[in-house]
Structures are given as C-alpha cells and as structure tokens.
Structure 1
Amino acid sequence: MSSFREPAPRDPAPGPVSSSLQTSDVLILIPAHNEAATVGAIVREVRRRWGYRVVVIDDCSTDDTAEIARAAGATLLPLPLQLGAWGALQTGLRYAERNGYQLAVTLDADGQHEPAQIGALVAPVLAGQANVVIGAFPARASPARRLAWRYFRWLTGLDLEDITSGFRAYDERAIRLLASREATLLDYQDVGVLLTLHRHDLRVIEEPVPMQPRLQGVSRVFKSWWTVGNYMLQTSLLCLARVGHGRARDRRTDSDA
C-alpha cells in the first residue's frame, strides 16, 4: 500500500517542530552547480525560518554560486571535481556523519523546494514514523518523467510516487548508510538510493508538499534524449542487479532456515 497521499490545502509556512532534537542536531544540505541566481535567497530563508546550519556543496560552479552562498550564511564545501548531484549530496552526508548530526535535510538550489516545508519532512522522522521522508509532488512531472517513474516502480516494486524528488529528510541511520562506501558508486539520488535504503530495511515514506517551477536551468536527467536514454539504461541495469541480489539473498536465507 502506498504511503503517499494527495496534498491537502494548508498553511504554506508550518511552524517549528516540537521535539527534544536541538537546532544544532539538524543540517541542511544544498548541492549547487551554477545556481547564483537562487542559492542566496534559499540559504537566507532556511536560516531565517528554522535557524538550522546550512551547507552548500558547490559542484564546480563557474559562476558566483560559492561566494553568494557563503555571503548568505552557508558553510561551503567546494568540490575539486564535478561529481554530479548524487556525488555532491553524498559529500554533504559524509560531512553530516563526521560531525555527528542526527538529521539531514536535502533540497535543491534552483528554487523548486520551499524552505517553509522543511518542518513537514522533519516531523515524521522525529515521531519515529520513518527513517527517510521524501517531499513529494507528482503533479510536477512531465509525461516522459511519469513514464519513467511507472517503469521503475514496475521494475523494482518500490511503492513510491515521486521517485526523483531530492527534497528529503534522513535520520542518523540513513545518513550513516548513504555516507558509506556502498553508496559511492551510485550515479543518481533516486532509484539506486531508494533500493539501497530498502535493502537495509529502512522505512521510507512520502509527505505531500507543494513545489515551485524551476526558476532557472533544466533537469540534469531530462534535459535531452541522450541524457534520458543514458539514465534509463544505467538505472535499469542497477535495478536488475540490486533486485537480483536481493532475491538471491532471500533464497540463501530460506535455505539456511
């Protein structure tokens, strides 16, 4: 049964989550590549609304992204080589693990994800309902993206609606897993990450949130037929390998029993 429900009308600016978790225990991770036009406003809004520490992972930007992010109050992690969205995010998750953060929230730097909705993702984690919460807004998807999601749900058995959303909250267990060497070889933050979480029995749920149209740039995956084809091929092979490995492990467990 899907854990996703359609978003209901609500105040777009929920208040702070009440819990024993301290503000200093939560880290906001924002991967950015040439996001000078938007990253500063996002960092300032997160800091103003929530007071959480913000880390911007600069994926070899050629514009003023790094300087603007730092001036807005973010801690900057500049990458010496362009690693892509997942490589940048894993860098941030490793930073979170090494510095003892209990919860990490990831969001894009292009203005799609609303900082006001961070509390909606954090709340289920704090309530013990999930290890990972995905901010989901399936209505944003193009027909090509919807077709890709449907295909990967069929291939993997994942019961999630918005597979590619990068707006997520990870608890300490998920941070530790995704910062590990096992997750290093992934190319994208979506299906491979979700399969890794599933294989280790971490609970992933979706929380409906509003999202804004991308203010600039295009999707790194769906920007051309070549990138879409490459993404579909790589992810399909990954799915087949991971699903096959899981089934083999289940057979070994049954035989041992």
Structure 2
Amino acid sequence: MILIVIPAFNEEDTIVDVIKSLVKSGYNKILVVNDASTDNTGLIAEQLGVKVLHLEHNMGAWKATQTGIRYALQNNYKQVVTFDADGQHLVKSLSKLISCQKNDDVDVVIGSCTERGSVLRHVAWGMFRFLSGVEVKDLTSGLRLYNHKAIQVLASEQASLIEYQDVGVLLLLRKAGITKSEVKVQMEKRKVGGSRIFHSWGAVTYYMAYTTVLCLSKIAKTYSFESIDINSESL
C-alpha cells in the first residue's frame, strides 16, 4: 500500500491540480502536510477529501516530509512516495518509480530530471557529488519512492537532525545500508514562485555552506545508526 506524501507551504494555486491528477490516476492514499501555510493550502486540501496534517510552525520541506513519513510508519504503509505540491512532478512518473523498485529490488528510487535548474544548481550538484561520494545525478529531487526499510530509517530521530532532503538524507540512507536506484523522469517548471534554496544569494550561501560541512564530515557521530533498530515499529 503506497502513501503519497505532499509537503506543502503556500501552494493554494497548485494544490488542487496536484491532488486531482493523483486521484484521477488511482492514487487515493494521499497525505498533505501543511507546513504552517499562511494561505488556504490546508483548507483546500481538506475540501478535496484527502488527509491533512497541520504543522503549527513552518518546519521546512524536509521536516514536513519526515512528518508524513512518520505518519506512514505509524499507519503501516509499506511504501511512501514524496511528491511536490508545486506542480513540478508528473503523476505518470510514479509508474516508472514503482517499476524500477520492483525490477532493481532496491529500497529507494529517485526520480531524476537533470535538465531542470539553473547553472548554479548544476554546479552545486557536481560539487556535492564529488565531496560526498553519493552517486545520484539529481541530488535535490523531491520525487522519491521509499520502501518500509527506508521509511523506518527516515522516521528516526537521527533523520530529524537533517535540514534538506538531498545530500544529508542520502548519506544517512547509505550509512544504514539502504539500496537505491535512479530513474529518469520529466518535470514541469514551477507555475508559481521559485526554488526555496536557489531563490536568493543568501539562501544559496547558507545551503552551500551547510551541505559542504555535511559532505566533508561524511555524517558526523550525531548521525550514527549504531543505536537504531530498523526492525522496530516504535520509531
């Protein structure tokens, strides 16, 4: 049983089309994590009949995503797909992720679209691949399919120490022995707004500094999995 987790912050202009496209394609188990939106994102999602979790404070995309992953673990979902609320991800890509996971017998599948993004984004990807040793072409893709083993790891307290759903999460999964594949997909351009990382030099500078330190540390001792029992249902 697959749960579609959609972290959403001020996405009232796109959330209707995103949810309707998923439902039309037969994906009825949908969770919107409303990341303390100041618009009507959460209300609109509820009116469309999907489950909505409302965060009291804005936690950022990864923390909102992790909230959805923890919900999936608590409610015995065996697979989670993380799906953006801004209209970039296409429903037709989901069958590719599902098929890839079955064929490759891996824990995680990443939907990769390397044609998107600015020159700065591609420079950052290249640098972080080199520093971290993570062999993923599209490091910042939020379109991912996680199986139960990966869900258990990402629901842990250690995973909550991470700030972005890219290099840190991938390093954490690798340290836990989680296997992965990457499948090429198409993505649309954002209809409204822009990247929350690459929208300003200040945000980019912080992101680059944070992720560089993370890469160089190769996940510090605070991210150790020595105390994690990934077979436990109590996470």
Both structures adopt the same fold (TM-score exceeding 0.5): yes
| Residue deviations 1:173-212 (CA, integer Å, cap 9, x gap) | 0001000011011100000000001111111111101110
- Provide structure 1 residue ranges, at least 5 long, that are not aligned to the other structure: 1-24, 250-257
> Do residues 143 (structure 1) and 130 (structure 2) align?
no
Q: SS state of the match for residue 46, structure 2?
A: helix
Q: Do the aligned partners of 1:54 and 1:73 also contact (CA within 8 Å) in 2?
A: no
Which residue is equivalent to 1:73? 49
The answer on 1:49 being equivalent to 2:42 is: no
Aligned equivalent of 1:228, options 201, 204, 207: 204
Residue in structure 2 matched with residue 253 of structure 1 by the alignment? none
Question: Is the Cα–Cα contact under 8 Å of residues 168 and 219 in structure 2 kept in the other structure?
Answer: no
Structure 2 residue 148 is matched with structure 1 residue 172: yes
Matched residue, 1:9: none
Structure 2 residue identity aligned to 1:166: G
**1:84 aligned residue:** 60
Task: State the shift of 1:126 in Å.
Answer: 3.1
Structure with greater helix percent: 1
Alpha-carbon distance in structure 1 between the residues aligned to 2:159 and 2:133: 20
Unaligned 5+ residue runs, structure 2?
Answer: 226-235
Give matches, 1:94-243, under 5 Å.
94-127=70-103, 129-242=105-218
Aligned mates of 1:128, 1:206 — CA distance in 2: 10
Query: Per-residue displacement from partner, 1:119-167 (whole Å, max 9, x unpaired)?
Result: 1112222345211111101010210000000000110111111000000
* Cα 1:140–1:152 shift into 2, 3 Å: same
Q: C-alpha offsets along residues 6-64 of structure 1, whole Å, 9 cap, x if unaligned? A: xxxxxxxxxxxxxxxxxxx1100000000001111111111120233100000011111
My pick for the range that moved more, 140-149 or 66-75, is: 66-75
> What root-mean-square deviation, in Å, do the aligned CA atoms of Structure 1 and Structure 2 show?
1.6
Contact 2:104 2:181 in 1 (8 A): no
Q: Is the Cα–Cα contact under 8 Å of residues 112 and 141 in structure 2 kept in the other structure? A: yes
CA contact under 8 A between 1:174 and 1:197: conserved in structure 2? yes
Query: Secondary structure of the equivalent of 1:155?
Result: helix
Q: Are the counterparts in 2 of residues 192 and 235 from structure 1 also a CA contact under 8 Å?
A: yes
Q: CA deviation at 1:244?
A: 6.8
Distance 2:166 2:131 in 1: 14
Map of 2:16 onto structure 1: 40
SS in 2 for 1:62: coil
Maintained 8 Å contact 2:15/2:45: yes
